[in-house]
Amino acid sequence: MKLFVDSGSVKDIEALASLGIVDGVTTNPSLLAKEGGDYRAILKRICEIVQGPVSGEVVATSAAGMIREGRDLAAIDPHIVVKVPFTREGLKACRTLSSEGTRVNVTLIFSAPQAWLAAKVGATYVSPFVGRLDDVGAAGMGLIQEIVDLFDHAGYGTEVLVASVRGPLHVIEAGRMGADVVTCPPAVVEQLFKHPLTDIGLERFLKDWEKAQAVKA
């Protein structure tokens, strides 16, 4: 399973990419606005850092507007993936952009039928939002299993990109279910590193080493 970082922060992305664990990035207009500056330059810099898929999202609501913005985004860098919302207009845009060879990430997926329709029009990725489903009392990870099973049986090449991830359990469950990608905010990626026994073990090792060095002295 691939790990994407859900962020528009060049600083955060650089820090995580330097560890060799980042396969791609997902952004949206809100995340890029927090960074400040020209969004095109930010997306270009992120592509240079990651050298993998980087989702840039359209803001238009009509198919014509999404197609126009999608072409503009795709021209920034070959690594750009155009993100469009799951709407009727979004599906129209996805079909056109994908037929032109542009990779498309259909976002705001909340059901298996929505994922299926996105796959039918050529989406490279579908992004189901598990955390937001959990928030309203639905089984977010249950949706991931449904989509993975559906795509496996239907033979679609569309990848399942698990979004709205709230913690390490979402990540591990996504991998066990066969999801292709999980995208996490930097704070969640940091949580993946943490375990109290690791910290305790390291602390004990260092103390034992210090004692050994003191005896030699």
- Rg of the chain over Cα atoms, rounded to whole angstroms, equals 20
Residue numbers annotated as active site: 83
* φ, ψ for residue 9, nearest 5 deg: -85, 115
Burial class from Cβ neighbours inside 10 Å (0-12, 13-18, 19+) for residue 52 reads middle
Strand partners, 215: none
Question: End-to-end alpha-carbon separation of the chain, Å?
Answer: 49
Q: Which residues contact 73 (CB under 8 A, 6 or more apart)?
A: 43, 56, 58, 80, 82
Give the residue from 128, 77, 122 showing the smallest Cα distance to 103: 122
